[in-house]
Structure 1
Amino acid sequence: MSNSPDGGSLTQAQSYALVVVAAVLLSAILAPVAYDRATQPDGTVAVVTIEGPITSGSATAVQKDLREARENESIDAVVLNVDSPGGGAAASEQLYLSVQRTAAEMPVVASVTSTGASGAYYAMLPAEDIYVTPASIVGSVGVRAAAPGPSLPGEVKSGPDKASATADQRRTQVETLQNAFVGSVMKHRSDDLELSRTEVAHAKVYSGARAVDNGMADDIGSTQDAIRQAANAADLDDYEVYRKEPPQTGGLLLLSADDGGGVVVERSPVGYETVDTPTLLMVYGSVQTESEVIGNVSA
């Protein structure tokens, strides 16, 4: 056996080469894992849809989606995908409060794909940015209600004010809600608005392009633009988008008319039409009773 220096150097060189080869192979195996970890999304933007007339049922479903977004640690921002003419005043107010609560915890951006009027506009006011298309319909900051109907002849009531209201009382209800609606617009949009409080209270509707000019909306853009803005507001460079499907609800108080031009108010579900139940609406479009729609179809 040779003990020459050259033989020892050769053995050391071979050992070194084996170590280098092993290191290269190990790095090749681990590299995809490390790359995968490095490219994981920074967070998630949730898209919550407000679609169709706002009722107690649809508002409850959207409130649930927003609550889930707030409670989910992986959700960093929310985009409201809005296509609604508004609806019931109470339901619209509940949505507004839910959006406001969400906006206090994470960035919220709204995107009006077609219509975001009346109660739907109210609901998205807490969003830090409102994106619209040039032809979107926004505004209609107002409240409407039917005049009180006559009592049933010979009706016996437990008290003089049971199931009764005068036109003045109904007007006061409408004015109270209107003041709250207009006040919320001024609170959230005053820095950008080119309209006075009186002009806002006129309840006009505006195209998306005009709404950006007068401060009722912020930017022209798509829902994708709104998603990017929400991600930027949450400091997300790489993010996932979680889209929540719009709720499917039944037994609606308000239904879209077949021609898409109005809203149908169903008759009393208890079949006692003389009970004076005020229907206070924050809705853009014509309002008809179910019987009027049936009559129009018959004619």
Structure 2
Amino acid sequence: MFIRIFAPIKWLLALINNYFKSFVFLLILYLIFSSNVDEGSFERANLARIDIHGAIMEADKILGEIQKAKEDEDIKGVLLHVDSPGGALAPSVEISYAIKELQKSKPVVAYGAGTMASGSYYASIWSDKIYANPGAFIGSIGVIFQSYNVEDLAKKIGIKEQTIKAGRFKEAGTFMREWSEDERKSLKTLIDNSYDLFVNDVAKARDLNISDKEKFADARVFLAKNAQKEKLIDHVGILWNAQNELIKLSKVKKAKWKKKDKFDRFLEEFTNESAKGFIKIFYGLKAY
């Protein structure tokens, strides 16, 4: 009786053991092909969307997506969906130059969904066209370096710094004391050089006169319509307008957008929801 009751379970376990590898193989094939096939049909995707969302602290993930879009012959155009306050200079430059190379082989349209400022604007400048939501914040073309001076606080709580260094400016930017005049000048030169790189690239990409940089590159943030007046963007519109512009430039007869990998989509949604939950808790505890 005992054997008879568990016979179906033993049969099921044997079935899983025998066909598990085949099942996993078929599942992998499904995930691979479904990520680039429009749901409900077997037509290959011909347009791709790359998101630049949140602070830009590293570029590897976005660079990988750009490279995939560049190498995929089925993809005829790329939409850059931007909602980012910017970030570190180096990864922003890396993304910007990768978009510049991509744009040589297929059209790229950038869309500022909420914030396209500082590093995220830098990343977008080489697109064929830049659209922005009417309520989007655009610009903030500038570079900043900040550090605290906790010298007085350290003295109060009895903390003393010990430093061994080689190189005159190795300690430039320290937060344990006030910077010397030479250190300040050195850091200012670094910031000025970084700013010149940013402004020169914007001027080249957007066909602007570098002598007018005080108008468009004084680090101010523009609302979309004012950014358009300064020629930082091409059009004010919504996502639909940017998508239609890309369809026109890519000359596809029927737009088929590449679907994100299902697992990546799950992780992204999970991360976003977790972040929203954290923000709700955090702000709920703030004393207003």
Check conservation: 1:41, 1:238, Cα contact below 8 A.
Answer: no
- Aligned partners of 1:83 and 1:195: how far apart in 2? 29
**1:150: Cα distance to partner?**
8.5
- Aligned partners of 1:155 and 1:55: how far apart in 2? 28
Larger strand proportion, structure 1 or 2?
1
Check conservation: 2:77, 2:108, Cα contact below 8 A.
Answer: yes
* Number of aligned positions between the proteins: 219
**1:214: Cα distance to partner?**
2.2
Query: Who is 1:234 aligned against?
Result: 250
- Aligned partners of 1:159 and 1:201: how far apart in 2? 34
Among residues 178, 184, 191, which one is paired with 1:174 in the alignment?
191
SS of 2:80 mapped into structure 1: strand
SS of 1:75 mapped into structure 2: coil
**1:198: Cα distance to partner?**
2.1
Q: Kindly report which structure 2 residues correspond to 1:79-90, keeping only aligned pairs within 5 A, or say none.
A: 79-90=79-90
Pair 1:215-2:217 in alignment:
no
**1:226: Cα distance to partner?**
1.3
- Aligned partners of 2:201 and 2:64: how far apart in 1? 23
**1:158: Cα distance to partner?**
4.1
Q: Quick one: structure 1 residues 227 and 298, their matched pair in 2 at CA, closer, same or farther if it must change by over 3 Å?
A: closer
Larger helix proportion, structure 1 or 2?
2
- Aligned partners of 2:166 and 2:220: how far apart in 1? 42
Larger RCO, structures 1/2 (Cα 8 Å, 6+ apart): 1
Aligned-residue CA RMSD (Å):
3.4
Query: Who is 1:10 aligned against?
Result: none
**1:95: Cα distance to partner?**
1.2
1:206-257: CA deviation from partner (whole Å, max 9, x where unpaired): 1112112221111122222212211211222222111446885xxxxxx999
Query: Who is 2:118 aligned against?
Result: 118
Query: Who is 1:190 aligned against?
Result: 207
Could you tell me the percent identity over the aligned residues?
25
Check conservation: 2:134, 2:238, Cα contact below 8 A.
Answer: no
Check conservation: 1:48, 1:243, Cα contact below 8 A.
Answer: no
Query: Who is 2:46 aligned against?
Result: 44
**1:79: Cα distance to partner?**
0.4
Pair 1:200-2:216 in alignment:
yes
SS of 1:229 mapped into structure 2: helix
Among residues 157, 175, 178, which one is paired with 2:165 in the alignment?
157
Query: Who is 1:55 aligned against?
Result: 57
1:234-285: CA deviation from partner (whole Å, max 9, x where unpaired): 222222111446885xxxxxx99959xxxxxxxxxxxxxxxxxxxxxxxxxx
Pair 1:64-2:81 in alignment:
no
SS of 1:157 mapped into structure 2: coil
Q: Which entry has the higher C-alpha Rg, 1 or 2?
A: 1
Check conservation: 2:200, 2:210, Cα contact below 8 A.
Answer: no
Amino acid at match of 2:256: E
- Aligned partners of 1:200 and 1:61: how far apart in 2? 30
Check conservation: 2:133, 2:239, Cα contact below 8 A.
Answer: no
Amino acid at match of 2:110: A
Unaligned segments of structure 2, at least 5 residues = 1-40, 152-159, 174-182, 269-274
Check conservation: 1:133, 1:209, Cα contact below 8 A.
Answer: no
Q: Quick one: structure 1 residues 40 and 52, their matched pair in 2 at CA, closer, same or farther if it must change by over 3 Å?
A: same
- Aligned partners of 2:147 and 2:133: how far apart in 1? 36
Unaligned segments of structure 1, at least 5 residues = 1-38, 249-254, 260-292
Q: Quick one: structure 1 residues 171 and 258, their matched pair in 2 at CA, closer, same or farther if it must change by over 3 Å?
A: farther
